[in-house]
Amino acid sequence: MVSGWGHAMNLVKTGLLLAAMTALFLAAGFLIGGEGGLVVALVLAVGMNAFAWWNSDKMVLRMHNAQPVSRATAPELWDMVAQLARRAELPMPAVYLIHSDQPNAFATGRDPQHAAVAVTTGILEVLPREELAGVIAHELAHIKNRDTLIMTVAATIAGAIGMLANFGFLFAHHRDDRQNPLGPLGALLVMILAPLAATLVQLAISRTREYAADRLGAQICGNPLWLAGALQRIEAVASDRVMPTAEHNPATAHLFIVNPLRMGGIDNLFRTHPATEHRVAALVELAREMGAGPGAGMRAAPRRPAEFGTRRGSVPEAGGAGRGGVWRQNPWNR
């Protein structure tokens, strides 16, 4: 379904970035605290990654007050996820709804057998059916590529480097700088620069994985222009709508299909996603390669929120979906 060469190159690039981040973590531990600092770094890395492996999905869903839905409460959404998961040859993930006006979505979970897809009520109100399929296919691509685990590990290591730097500041007066090859000034610089470098590497990993998920997601749903249209529409609407849970938990921003945070000025240096226009351009080029019809999935009229059975501030109810004419077609059920 996806180019083997392109997939391999993405894996190599991500692996190199993760190796660089791990090396940075261990080096920071050694430069801040000598051999003792290296041991502390190893213990932190093992402990935090073990915790993230088992609990990251539950933590992220809880941070955004995500509520589980079933086929009984959201039949159209649940069926769409199930159909696209079959096309992607994935187990059915858990489906969650986040009550937020901002259109957005993310996937989480340590592996395809323990995965979840979460969408906001805003995205159900804004996107036509085909574009929503493109978004869900993108999130399933993250699951298939194991990006949910990769990006969790990257975020955990970045957090551990920050914690290590804080420890270095806290216990600076107890440290024996004779064990530090850089001396006190060098250690101070490492404490300041290492977390910044870790954040930049983490963002590079996130941006790399977004391009790969866009490509595979477009192939899963069958039309790259559906996802391209969704990205453009989400970007246009999301900029005017704040997601409070994301603003309170900015470390989770890289999980969403479009950056949920308000950005401006120097903040653009720390973008968690590639520029939307670049992603759209890559998808349009992919559409040409696949022979997808021009504009397909981008000209569809937005459907009414009632077609998903959603009401602002409430989870979809049984029987509230499936009445819209556009929903009677199942292009993914092949």
Q: Which of 26-30, 117-121, 142-146, 300-304 has the highest mean pLDDT?
A: 117-121
Range of weakest confidence among 13-22, 29-38, 185-194, 309-318: 309-318
- Check residue 78 and give its pLDDT: 96
pLDDT of residue 29: 73
Between 102-111, 289-298, 306-315, the lowest mean confidence (pLDDT) is in 306-315
pLDDT interval class at 263 (50, 70, 90): low
The predicted pLDDT at position 268 comes to 52
| Listed residue (256, 334, 243, 317) closest to 78, CA to CA | 317
The proportion of the chain whose per-residue pLDDT surpasses 90, expressed as a percent, equals 38
The whole-angstrom separation of Cα 61 and Cα 325 is 32
Q: Bigger pLDDT: 44 or 290?
A: 290
**Closest alpha carbon to 66 in 105, 22, 20:** 105
- Cβ-based neighbour number of residue 282 at 10 Å: 17
Q: Does residue 290 contact residue 232 with C-beta atoms inside 8 Å?
A: no
Q: How confident is the model at residue 233 (pLDDT cuts 50, 70, 90)?
A: very high
Confidence label for 331 from pLDDT (cuts 50, 70 and 90): very low
Q: Full-prediction pTM beyond 0.75?
A: no
Select the more confidently predicted residue: 280 or 38: 280
For residue 292, what pLDDT band results from cuts at 50, 70 and 90? confident
Percent of residues, the chain, with pLDDT higher than 70: 61
At residue 309, the pLDDT reads: 41
Q: What does the alpha-carbon distance between residue 193 and residue 198 come to, in Å, rounded to a whole number?
A: 9
Q: What is the pLDDT of residues 66-118, one digit of tens each?
A: 999 999 999 999 999 999 999 999 999 999 999 999 999 999 988 899 999 99
- Nearest alpha carbon to residue 221 among 129, 146, 127, 322: 129
Q: Cα–chain-centroid distance for residue 222?
A: 21
- Residue range 121-143: average pLDDT? 96
Residue 220, CB-side half-sphere exposure with 13 Å CA sphere:
33
Q: Write out pLDDT tens, residues 168-220.
A: 655 554 555 555 555 555 556 666 666 666 666 666 667 778 998 999 999 99
For the chain, what are the domain ranges? 4-313
User: What would the 3-class secondary structure string for the chain be?
Assistant: CCCHHHHHHHHHHHHHHHHHHHHHHHHHHHHHHHHHHHHHHHHHHHHHHHHHHHHHHHHHHHHCCCEEECCCCCHHHHHHHHHHHHHCCCCCCEEEEECCCCCCEEEEECCHHHEEEEEEHHHHHHCCHHHHHHHHHHHHHHHHCCHHHHHHHHHHHHHHHHHHHHHHHHCHHHCCHHHCCCHHHHHHHHHHHHHHHHHHHHHHHHHHHHHHHHHHHHHHHCCHHHHHHHHHHHHHHHCCCCCHHHHHCHHHHHHECCCCCCCCHHHHHHCCCCCHHHHHHHHHHHHHHHCCCCCCCCCCCCCCHHHECCECCECCCCCCECCCHHHHCCCCCC
Distance (Å, rounded) from C-alpha 179 to C-alpha 171?
Answer: 14
Mean pLDDT to the nearest integer, 243-271? 76
The tokens describing 161, both together, are: 């480097």
- DSSP β-ladder status, 94-98 and 115-120: parallel
pLDDT score at 288: 92
Residues in the chain: 334
> What is the structure's pLDDT at 58?
87
State yes or no: pLDDT of 318 exceeds 80: no
CA nearest to 239, candidates 276, 212, 197, 202: 276
Residues serving a catalytic function are 139
What mean pLDDT do residues 7-13 have?
A: 61
Task: Look at residue 151 and tell me whether its pLDDT is greater than 70.
Answer: yes
More confident residue, 279 or 252: 279
